[in-house]
Amino acid sequence: MGLKYIETIKSVLLFVLVMISVALTFTIWTYTPNHETLDSAKTIDISIAEKKKVEQLITPYKAIYRNDVLRGTHEEVRLNELFEEMKDWSIRDLTLEREQFTKERVDELMNADQSLLLYYFGEVPFRIFENVIPVQDGNIPEGTFDRLVVTRLADQIEMHFINRKHEYYYTSTVSVPQLKRTEDFFLTWANELDVYEKVLGNTIAYLAIPQNKLTINQNMYYQEEITPTRFRDALFSDPNAVRRSQIGTVQEEYADNHALMTIDMQTKQLNYVYPSAESNEISIPSELLYQSIDFINEHGGWTDDYRYVYMNPITRYTRFKLFVEGLPVHSETKVSTEIVQQYGDGRVFRYTRPYYTFDATLLIERNLITLPSGVEVIEHMKRNPSVNLETIEDVIVGYIMQPDFDNRLFKLIPAWFYSVNGVWHHYDLEETGVARYGLG
């Protein structure tokens, strides 16, 4: 009887434990926290300017196309036309090739008729690029590229994704829904491009420059700024708890117990830091870029035409560059033309950016400026002992931004730039001095 009694107690206890377990499981599954209360106490929904899609931020800065002759463009309208045609394509069978990508290989691809080469400032992850052209493969590799060659053989179109830094490349086939329409597009589109000339060199960058002089707009804008308190409201969880301090005559600080935002009123730049979010873990490239874009989208931080130009997954660092009329804008002064971000543990660690804006309505003067041809620039470089032509990766047109603080003006002056090891330098044919501007 004693044993039967003990067994009965065990059965009852087991039944009770099972019922408790079921009740707890049901509670977890059906528990709904009061998100409205939590969110309203934690953040304020602030949209400073625009949100942007990934494909608006991941764009090439130049395209080269070979048909009867070598042609190319940096013009925004032409690049937009190209991607409007390519948006219906899809990528499949993305494959990492075993051999290194060489200068000879890129020359071979670009010597073929109907070959297209796209240039990107920063390394683009495939898992980001699928927002631009869909990838049909189920398992997209965590690779990156900064040059994209499109070739055609009979009715087959292929893409070659080149990573110049690590000298590897992926190939893929491309599904084109209307091949005849695409053929007609390239015939018409190519006729609108400038004639280009390839420059001999020892790198795999494929240096090609325009044969003729260029006419570029020189613009002047009023200086306009976004009130720093709008960034305070967007970046701090409780703006009412933020303390404001004046630091000297041109700086002020906003701080709470977790974060600090410094405002430089002379250079129109802010620096936000959240120290406890600092992380030394290496990030996954696609995740880092998605997180960086999402963070800026959360507060509508795309105040002008900023585009992705650089990423370092080791330091968790990304940069987005100001573009005007499709051209990158560099600065000769401390006035920055970049949004810089270090993404930390689950949130942004450091965020540095301008708070001025280049709204088109602020344009007060525009003049057409004629620049020397790319061929003239290269010939001048050959005679310049301070320039090693063999190390140059690209030569392009961009803007130099000159601020006039007294009259609250920004002047954008067209100029030639060249890249060595990912760093861009201003090249002035009338002066021997070379200024350096970092893009990577």
pLDDT tens by residue, 413-423:
999 999 998 89
β-pairing verdict for 243-247 and 224-225: unpaired
pLDDT of residue 118: 98
Within a 10 A sphere around the Cβ of 310, how many other Cβ atoms? 18
127-156 tens-digit pLDDT: 999 999 999 988 899 999 999 999 988 788
pLDDT of residue 244: 95
pLDDT of residue 288: 97
- How far, rounded to the nearest angstrom, does the alpha carbon of residue 438 sit from its chain's CA centroid? 14
Which of these, 141, 20, 148, 33, lies nearest to 89 by C-alpha position? 148
Is the Cβ–Cβ distance between 160 and 170 less than 8 Å?
Answer: yes
pLDDT of residue 26: 30
Stretch among 73-82, 179-188, 333-342, 425-434 having the lowest mean pLDDT: 425-434
pLDDT of residue 19: 47
Stretch among 238-252, 270-284, 355-369, 391-405 having the lowest mean pLDDT: 355-369
pLDDT of residue 44: 58
pLDDT of residue 439: 46
CA triple 416-213-75, angle to 5 deg: 70
Spatial neighbors of 338 by CB under 8 A, at least 6 apart, are 306, 309, 319, 320, 321, 322, 353, 354
* 410-434 average pLDDT score: 87
Beta-bridged to residue 354, according to DSSP, are: 269
Report the SS3 class of residue 105.
helix
Domain map of the chain by residue range? Answer: 54-212
Stretch among 14-18, 67-71, 230-234 having the lowest mean pLDDT: 14-18
Q: Does 18 score more than 50 pLDDT?
A: no
pLDDT of residue 157: 93
In order of 219, 220, 368, 397, the CA distances from 216 in angstroms are 10, 13, 6, 9
* 189-209 average pLDDT score: 89
pTM over 0.75: yes
More confident residue, 293 or 29: 293
Reading the block at residue 315, the tokens are: 């330091």
Q: What percent of the chain has pLDDT over 70?
A: 87
* 55-65 average pLDDT score: 97
Confidence of residue 436 (pLDDT cuts 50, 70, 90): low
Q: What does the chain come to in residues?
A: 440
* 222-246 average pLDDT score: 94
Q: Does 107 score more than 50 pLDDT?
A: yes
* 155-162 average pLDDT score: 93
Going through 277-362 in order, the beta strands assigned E by DSSP cover: 306-312, 317-324, 327-331, 338-343, 348-354, 356-357
Is the Cβ–Cβ distance between 399 and 413 less than 8 Å?
Answer: yes
Spatial neighbors of 407 by CB under 8 A, at least 6 apart, are none
Q: Which residue has the tokens 């009130």?
A: 227
* 29-53 average pLDDT score: 54
Stretch among 8-22, 28-42, 419-433 having the lowest mean pLDDT: 28-42
